[in-house]
Amino acid sequence: MLPGLISLIFFIIEFVFLIFIILKNRSHPQFVWIVLLIIFLQVYQLMEFLMCVGVSPNVIGRLGLVSITFLPPLGVLLAADVINLKHWVNWVGILCGFALSFYYLIVPNAFDLQTCNPFYAVYTYPLGNLYGIFYFGFIGWALILIGIGWIVNNKQKRKYMSKKATLVLVGYLSFLLPMAITVVVDFSTSSAVPSIMCKYALLLATTLLIFSFQHERETK
């Protein structure tokens, strides 16, 4: 099988999702965050496929790393928008994302592809521990915001808003739990967490596709 094949397949699926959302659900109140999340996710899938087949791995790999760097901060902005908790603090992640992206784009030897197979890629990059804190820290922040929104909307019996918060929560858990189980079952996969997590994130993209129809249902 072709190295990076799953990434190419998932890119095509997510691209179809993106086109469908743009054509059908442009009026959704969280349209911008939904579209940006799927774009950055599918860009990573495409970059991984290209570097795995030998297209400038050092350059393409950096671009892929940058693309997934913005996923957690965008998730925070989506969560904050869903629960209507808009505050400048929620943009801190975007600023951190730009700082890390700048580092990985210009620093020599900031990306090193180790190996590829049809299912995932293994690569190394400096500041891995700091990057992990950034990545999972903002994912955690988004989960906290969604949890707060779910509790508040349930108490106030705003069923529609509660449903939206639930969908976003399900989207997060749909890729976090399988990733955690994968690492527990086979710890050797921990070296490929970014790549494997983005494969499971197809479930997040699917949830976002479903989520993109919620505004339409509300207005009927």
> pLDDT 10s digit of each residue in the chain, 220 long?
789 999 999 999 999 999 999 999 999 999 999 999 999 999 999 999 999 999 999 999 999 999 999 999 999 999 999 888 888 889 999 999 999 999 999 998 899 999 999 999 999 999 989 999 999 999 999 999 988 877 776 666 666 666 788 889 999 999 999 999 999 999 888 889 999 999 999 999 999 999 999 864 444 4
DSSP string, 102-114: HHHHHSTT--EEE
Report the pLDDT value the prediction gives residue 220, as an integer from 0 to 100. 40
- Residue that is written with structure tokens 């990434």 in the block: 7
Range of the domain at 15: 5-219
Residue in the structure block whose two tokens are 């913005």: 70
Rounded to whole angstroms, the Cα distance separating 27 from 216 reads: 8
The domain tally of the chain equals: 1
Q: How many Å from the N-terminal Cα to the C-terminal Cα in the chain?
A: 47
Task: Judge if pTM exceeds 0.75.
Answer: yes
- Whose CA is closest to 191, among 122, 130, 139? 122
Return the pLDDT at 157. 61
Token pair 């469908």 in the structure block, residue:
20
Rounded distance, CA 166 to CA 137, Å?
20
pLDDT value of position 179: 94
CATH number at residue 152: 1.20.1070.10
What pLDDT is recorded for position 219? 41
Q: What are phi and psi of 113, to 5 degrees?
A: -75, 125
Q: Is 127 left (phi over 0), alpha (psi -120 to 50) or beta?
A: left
d(CA 165, CA 6): 30
What is the pLDDT, as a whole number, of residue 158? 63
Half-sphere exposure in the Cβ direction for 51 (13 Å, CA): 26
